[in-house]
Homo-oligomer: A and B are copies of this chain.
């Protein structure tokens, strides 16, 4: 992780010396601070998994310094992509904190300039790719890949915004197919498929031959989000590092979707009256319905079924190295507590 972090400084420095823009001192300072605030502070799982996956695909051979740098640069591009989406998402959701600090747009003197900063974060990705990959045979595939995944993420975000954004607070839209579609596009492609696809491209593969791998990873991403939703309510805040607010925020969470599928008329009434309210009494009532419906057991059941299905799809893969990549992803998240 520390060697991965050290690549960040190099990429940042390249961006601050980009000859396509004539920087003033103020703009250098602005970008420097904006990057440090938004890019490296996450868990870096997505970024590091490019390096890990590429190592496995190379079948145990140590990476050269250059290979490590390139795989890390692609990993950082994913972290940049995530930063871009989070900065804008926090504006749209009117959020207060992110990663234990105020959201960027709430920092004094930033405000809505944050929207353009999000755009800049996004624009840094092709700058990094051009500088380091322009001569690679897979350069155009990298551009296509990032473009497609960004499009899918933004489309998932749209779906989320237009189906779940308040206005009427209508629980009747919260159904499993809706939930799955949002999660698949908004989260799974960029968090799970993109890192592996980057590693495959670096390894000289044609992504058209990895449609099954994509589907497995998207499924894993969905499983990951279900866990996230479960832990938001039933996880230990001490372990997760934050207190969940999905109920207060009227989120289209897996839990509420499952509850609505199973609830009787009374319970539906309780949910309708209390979901999306921020007073503790309402939250407690919702959680009681979840417990009465035994959603903890429903989750355990989902978790083991998912796991078994994923393992069997993974073992149907022809390449042992690819199997190993997929299993390493799965084992990082299976039964996680945070």
A140 to B135, CA, bound (A): 11
Q: Is A120 an interface residue (CB 8 A)?
A: yes
Q: Which of A20, A130, A150 has the most CB of B within 10 A?
A: A20
Q: A22-B181, A26-B163 are in contact. Are A116 and B88 (CB under 8 A)?
A: yes
Distance in angstroms from A164 CB to nearest chain B CB is 11
**In the complex, are the beta carbons of A27 and B140 less than 8 A apart?**
no
Question: What DSSP secondary structure best describes chain A's contact surface?
Answer: helix
Whether B113 contacts A92 by the Cβ 8 Å rule is yes
Chain B residue nearest to A121 (CB atoms) is B154
Q: Is residue A30 contacting chain B, with contact meaning CB distance below 8 A?
A: yes
Chain B CB within 8 A of A157 CB:
yes
Q: Which residue of B lies closest to A185 (CB)?
A: B21
Q: What residues on B are CB-neighbors of A165 within 8 Å? A: 113
> Is residue A117 within 8 Å, beta carbon to beta carbon, of the partner chain?
yes
Query: Contacts A126-B151, A158-B27, A158-B120; is A115 near B92 (CB within 8 Å)?
Result: yes
Within 8 Å by CB of A127, from B91, B127, B151, lies B151
- Among A141-149, A223-231, A297-305, the stretch that binds chain B is A141-149
Q: Which residues of B contact A158 (CB under 8 A)?
A: 27, 30-31, 113, 116-117, 120
Look across to chain B and name the residue whose beta carbon is closest to the beta carbon of A34.
Answer: B158
Pick from B26, B92, B143, B151: contact of A112, CB under 8 Å: B92
- A21-B22 Cα distance, complex, nearest whole Å: 38
A43 contacts the other chain (CB 8 A):
no
Beta-carbon contact of A20 and B113 below 8 Å: no
**With an 8 A cutoff between CB atoms, is A270 at the interface?**
no
We find that the number of chain A residues with CB closer than 8 angstroms to chain B is 47
Contacts of A123 in B (CB 8 A): 147, 150-151, 154-155
Q: Which residue of B lies closest to A154 (CB)?
A: B119
Asked if A159 is at the interface of the complex by the 8 Å CB criterion, the answer is: yes
Q: Does the CB pair A152–B92 fall under 8 Å?
A: no
Question: Nearest B residue to A184 by beta-carbon distance?
Answer: B22
A residues 110-141 touching B (CB-CB < 8 Å): 112-113, 115-117, 119-120, 123, 126-127, 130, 139-140
In A17-59, which residues have CB < 8 Å from any B CB? 18, 20-22, 24, 26-27, 30-31
Residues of A bordering B, CB below 8 Å = 18, 20-22, 24, 26-27, 30-31, 88, 91-92, 94, 109, 112-113, 115-117, 119-120, 123, 126-127, 130, 139-140, 143-144, 147-148, 150-152, 154-155, 157-159, 161-163, 165, 167, 178, 181, 185
> Can you list the 3 inter-chain pairs with the closest CB atoms, starting with the nearest?
A126-B147, A21-B155, A123-B151
